Structure formats: C-alpha cells, structure tokens
Amino acid sequence: MRFNLFRQSDIPKKYHSNFTNLYLDIAWFGVLSGTAINFLNVYATRLGASGLQIGLLTAMSAVVNLFLAIPAGYWISKRHTGRAVFWSSIIFRIGYLFWIPLPWFFNEQGQIWALIILTFLMAIPLTPLGVGFNALFAEAVPDRYRARVAGTRNVTFAIAYMLTSLIAGIILKNTAFPAGYQIIFVIGAFGAAMSSYHIYHIKPLQDETPAPPSPPTTDSPPSGQQADSPRGIKSILRLDIWRTHFKNVLLALFFFHFIHYLASPLYPLYNVRVLELNDSHLGNGTAFYYLSVLIASTQLGRIVHKYGHKKVTGWGVAGMASYPIMLAFAQNVWHFYALSFLGGFLFALVNGAYANYMLENIPADDRPSHLAWYTIVFNFAVLASSIIGPLTADVMSLAPALILFGVLRIVAGIYLLKWG
C-alpha cells in the first residue's frame, strides 16, 4: 500500500521535487495540526472559555479574510505564486510562537482573549496564503496527477496527525497544566516552520503549456479584457465571476462550509463537559480519526476516477451528517472512538475531492481571482456558523443542536450534487 502511494517511478522526473515537497509540507503541517491546532479549542475550554469565545477563535480569521481575500487574490496574481505563498506562510506562522508564553503573562480569561486577538492578527497573512496555496497546487501539479497527489497528501497528513496527536495526548496526561500545552505548542511551531521550508521548494511548472483561455460568452468578457479593462475597483473586485457557472460552485461550497462549521464549536464542549473525556481520550480519538483518513485516502484516486470529484464531494458531505448526529447519542469514550473512525473515512473523501472539484470549474488562466472569491465565501460561512452554532446550542442545548446540524449536512450534500 505504501509503495503504491508514494512511488514516483511512473511519474516524469520533472515533477518529483514538487510532489515530494508537497508531501513533506503536509506532513509537517500534520505535526502542527496534531498538536497546537488540534488542542487549541480544548485548551480554551479548560481555561473556561464559553461557546461564543470558542467560536470567536475561528470567527476572527474569517472576519479578516472576508475583507482581504479580494486584495490578496489581486496581489497574488501580480507576483510569483510560490514566493508569495512562502512569505505569507512565514509571517502567518510566526504567530504560533506567541501562543507558548501566554500562561506566564495572563490569567485564564486573559489567555483566552489573547488567543482570540492573536488569531485575528495571524489571519492577515493567512489570507494570501489560503488564496495562493490552491493556485500554487494547481500550477505545480498537472491535472492528471491531482487526485493522486491529493490522496497521497491526505495519507501523509493522516500519519503525521495521528502520531503527533497520540504523542500530544501522552504529554498532556503526564505533564501538569498548562505546561503540557506549552510543550505541544512548541512542537506545533516547529512543524509550522518546517512546512514553510518545503513550501519554498514547490515550483510552478513554467514549462507546462497553459490551457487556452476560456472562449468569451455572453456572461463574461474575454480574459484579456478582465486583466486590462475596465480599470479601478470594478476590475479588482471581479464581479463578472458571479455571472459564470462558477457562481453555482461558490453557492454550493458556501452551503457546505456553513453547515459543516456550525457544529465545530460544539465538539470540544460536548466532549469535555458531557462525555467528560480527558486529553488522552481526545488524542486517541484523533488518532482513530486519522487512521481512518489514511485508509480512505489510499482509495481516493480509484473512487474519484470512478465517480468524479463532484459526486464524491456531494455524497461525502451528506455522509458526514453521521458524525454530529451519532455524537449526540454517544455515552462513553468507546462510542467516541468508533465515531472518530467513521468520521475520518468520510472526511478523507470530501477533503480529497472538493478542492479538485472546485479547480475543475476554474479557468486555468484566471485562478487567483476565482480562488479569492472562494476564500470570501468560505470565510463568510465560517464566520456566520461560528456565531450561529453556539447561539443555537444555547437555545436548544448541545445534543439537539448536533442532531439538527447533522440533518442539514444531508441537505448540503444534496444541494451540491443537484445545483453545484
């Protein structure tokens, strides 16, 4: 299995460096995600954060991205994509270093608000990073290899995430609070630095023949007109994108992300306060989750080849309804482990397919502007759901809210399949 996934003997040598660095980038990002990012909301919960404060940890980034996505897309389009993404990643990831000393300077509530403010500031360079990386991936990986590379990246990420989350759980179990969290924040910051190092070595394929521009239609002007005229704010905003088929993709992905993130602020509250899971349990659950991601990712290329990115995304989104619904009925840690394994399988399908589904609907000569609008849609969905989710749970209580959000995931999947 490992040989078939990571071998490159059947791939032209000119792609080897890019593919290898894409795998190592995501591996180190898995270290960051399995430690600092994975336990951030748990740490905030143990500090006494409310559901709204946990939602704000996500919402702050969304607010910044909403305002900066279009300028970021314009900025990326005027620069070398690889260098722009690299420096954005460096500036963004420096912020993880500031998480480490917070317990030395602030009390519990002070730390929570410091994390929210840091998340807000880190979102400024995160915006061009988010817009630019999808464009860089498209420029660095030919279309015929994207499903394979995406699946292998999922596997690599899953292995790193699984191992580091287990290690983080052990560290937190055997180290006094909050020193254990400071240790995993250090590990996460190191992983972030190494991920940026490998992003630096990902090169757009300058020798690839670009796809011809999309022919002009009654809905959109030729790409040359988009670049040169009209000038000013209208040309930067690129509202013409909303008169193309990509509008349907944007609306479908907005609905998916909005419904998906409604439940996210509720998970740490339910796991810690209702199921009473400790850090070791949470680390083990994450390991089961990403073990399942690993297994599913080995089959992603085959599944996508048979059904296509759109169908895999849509049915995967509908299937992800099972996680919040079944979590609402969970009663012990073993239920949590089983759910984690099931959730990982479905997540792997969606995560490996939806970006490529989106890229299939973007003209090859106009990626940054389209991806900028996707970034706005994504972050508006995250912002709205991060606030509405906790407020809904306050009214309905946690378990009914989880069930409702699960049912809405089924609706989102069907919407994407029918109208996306």
Q: Looking at residues 182-197, what average pLDDT do you find?
A: 93
> What would the pLDDT profile of 3-53 be if each residue is shown by its tens digit?
455 566 567 677 777 888 889 999 999 999 888 888 888 888 888 888 778
The pLDDT assigned to 413 comes to: 92
The confidence band for 233, taking pLDDT boundaries of 50, 70 and 90, is low
The residue type of 313 is T
Q: Which residue has the higher pLDDT, 307 or 77?
A: 307
- Direct distance between the N- and C-terminal alpha carbons of the chain, in angstroms, rounded to an integer: 33
Name residue, tokens 């394979």. Answer: 148
Q: What is the pLDDT of residue 10?
A: 62
Question: Of 190, 254, 204, 196, which is closest to residue 412 (Cα–Cα)?
Answer: 254
Q: Provide the residue type at 304 as one letter.
A: V
What is the rounded distance in angstroms from the CA atom of residue 408 to the CA atom of residue 320? 10
Domains of the chain, each with CATH number or no CATH: 15-204+240-419 (1.20.1250.20)
Q: How far apart are CA 157 and CA 30, in angstroms?
A: 5
Q: Of 264 and 194, which is predicted with more confidence? A: 194
pLDDT number for residue 147: 73
Question: Does residue 396 register a pLDDT over 50?
Answer: yes
**Closest by Cα among 120, 86, 34, 351 to 195:** 86
Per-residue pLDDT band at 113 (split at 50, 70, 90):
very high
Q: Compute the average pLDDT of residues 392-410.
A: 91
pLDDT (average), residues 355-371: 80
Residue 96 has what pLDDT? 92
> Which pLDDT band holds residue 223 (cuts at 50, 70, 90)?
very low
- What is the arithmetic mean of pLDDT over 232-244? 69
Where helices occur in 201-332 by DSSP H, the ranges are: 223-228, 233-237, 246-262, 266-269, 279-297, 300-307, 309-319, 322-327
